[in-house]
Structure 1
């Protein structure tokens, strides 16, 4: 009855929690014409004019599937988008905020589906009280995650659950406020971003033993040869808040972006990287149907993976120049 998280929750893992996105964004493909994967257009000596941008549209879709080998679903997701039009004497603009949460109940643990729902719904309720006009800061986001962990942890304690009987869940979350974005995660559920300039980028690093060893300088082939390589180093619920170190990062968008949140049933075996050109890139267009895109991704994941529950959230952000500021 050993706790499966015990071997990998070492103190030095906590030092990885506040790294900036640029430190671990993994550019896996670039779709700049026919320059080829991973290559960028050469720099030009021509002067570059950077136009201030504002939100034009924010849209989303979420979809989940048991997978072809599972008889129940331990994934859970929440999607909320709120949009309004703001008029000023000089401009009329769109304002929006969106909350997108995906949780994957821990495989092999009882009531994983309960843990994932508890986490997502607790955070959703928390932000109804702690998110008004401005994007929540790091402390507020961290507080919401710690609260969700505590709710599951207390349920485990009340049920006297031990070892593999303790329920838990991963978490990946996207918050959008106009052109500002925050992401947070615990565990191995991922978030990717696709843009026309950068292609597909993985924005999160899995909280698992293999990835921990790589950050310590171990060769990837050695790190993932370990029998416990895919064991989680963090999850919500099995342990108290002292063991939770969510990665939280912020930035401002300056181009159209497609965010993909996925459980490991979707992201395993480099599925998104391999099929980016056919299944991801077309969805950046405002004319593309996100519902069909999500259907196609889940169908593909069932064909290529299928071993686990599959959940995807697609969030498309379209921007336009902030013309009211030009010429001032």
Structure 2
């Protein structure tokens, strides 16, 4: 059972006039008992990107709370229905605000299930699973440069500085046809893995090499501050993230909330009870034997 051990978050302006990124839970409000995390980046150049990202975070959360009665329901159909729910609220906002019809946002979503992590994304915000500094899962950007890389037209290194690197091919938007939200499920989760959801602004300065440095130091300290050191006043774009250090409890029960204490597992309780029983039995046997031998010598 993957659960958060530590949670780090950023939702920063960068060198922009307004912050079009949104995260859920809102910055400073995440608890170790949370299962749903989102990072969205309102599309620059389109009107009301900051509104689109905020509505996406808020209404995906509402949709999950109202409809996910069992994690077995979480699949592509559930996500598509969630998209319809969010777009309905986009339409309501657009009907009341002139010039908002082009608003859109990227999406990254992660839900911690009992035996896996369900992830969904649309656009060039990214999801990573990082183990010992190495990336073991990475979402594929829905962007022009990524398409060029896959076709062999440019190299991954050339994509980093390509003049059209910010052009995306999918986003969550009110206009039809709707972009497809891509999904995946991560089953190989180990203690001390890191799950990272981030907007592309963070990736301007936090490269895979930087990730390895930050996440493999013997004393990582406050990772929020360390990520800030790489990004503050250095990025062109807003930069946001959820970075979650995980522990896999293998379905052992936990107490969730602000205290985040882990209970003793049932297997450990059974083992403890067995030892207590053996000790009591041993004491009884010793008493019986002592009584027998005392009676024998007194004859």
Q: Same fold (TM over 0.5)?
A: yes
> Offset of 1:101 from its aligned partner?
0.4
> What's the counterpart of residue 307 of structure 1?
236
> Offset of 1:281 from its aligned partner?
2.7
Q: Distance in 2 between matches of 1:215 and 1:273?
A: 19
**Deviation string, structure 1 residues 296-315 (Cα, Å, up to 9, x no partner):** 21231125x42111111111
What TM-score comes out, normalization by structure 1 length? 0.65
> What's the counterpart of residue 147 of structure 1?
85
Aligned residue for 1:106, secondary structure, equals: coil
> Offset of 1:189 from its aligned partner?
0.7
What is the CA RMSD across the aligned residues, in angstroms?
A: 3.1
> What's the counterpart of residue 189 of structure 1?
125
Q: Distance in 1 between matches of 2:32 and 2:202?
A: 27
> What's the counterpart of residue 319 of structure 1?
248
Q: Distance in 2 between matches of 1:221 and 1:298?
A: 25
Residue 220 (structure 1) aligned to one of 155, 160, 167: 155
> Offset of 1:141 from its aligned partner?
2.0
Residue 179 (structure 2) aligned to one of 244, 256, 262: 244
Aligned pairs (5 A) from 1:50-89: 54-55=1-2, 58-67=5-14, 69-79=15-25, 81=31, 83=33
Higher strand share: 1
**Deviation string, structure 1 residues 110-145 (Cα, Å, up to 9, x no partner):** 321111101110100000012234252221123213
Residues paired across the two proteins, number: 247
Q: Is the 8 A contact 1:58 1:81 kept in 2?
A: no
Q: Distance in 1 between matches of 2:31 and 2:66?
A: 16
> Offset of 1:316 from its aligned partner?
1.6
Q: Distance in 2 between matches of 1:213 and 1:148?
A: 31
Q: Is the 8 A contact 1:152 1:236 kept in 2?
A: no
Aligned pairs (5 A) from 1:57-136: 58-67=5-14, 69-79=15-25, 81=31, 83=33, 98-134=35-71, 136=74
> Offset of 1:236 from its aligned partner?
1.3
> Offset of 1:58 from its aligned partner?
4.2
Aligned pairs (5 A) from 1:247-326: 247-256=182-191, 257-268=193-204, 271-282=206-217, 292-302=222-232, 305-320=234-249, 324=267
Q: Distance in 2 between matches of 1:202 and 1:268?
A: 19
Q: Distance in 2 between matches of 1:82 and 1:266?
A: 23
> What's the counterpart of residue 16 of structure 1?
none
Aligned residue for 2:212, secondary structure, equals: helix
Q: Distance in 2 between matches of 1:309 and 1:278?
A: 22
What TM-score comes out, normalization by structure 2 length? 0.71
Question: Which consecutive unaligned segments of at least 5 residues does structure 1 have?
Answer: 1-53, 84-96
Aligned residue for 2:103, secondary structure, equals: coil
Q: Is the 8 A contact 2:102 2:175 kept in 1?
A: no
> Offset of 1:222 from its aligned partner?
11
Residue 143 (structure 2) aligned to one of 204, 208, 214: 208
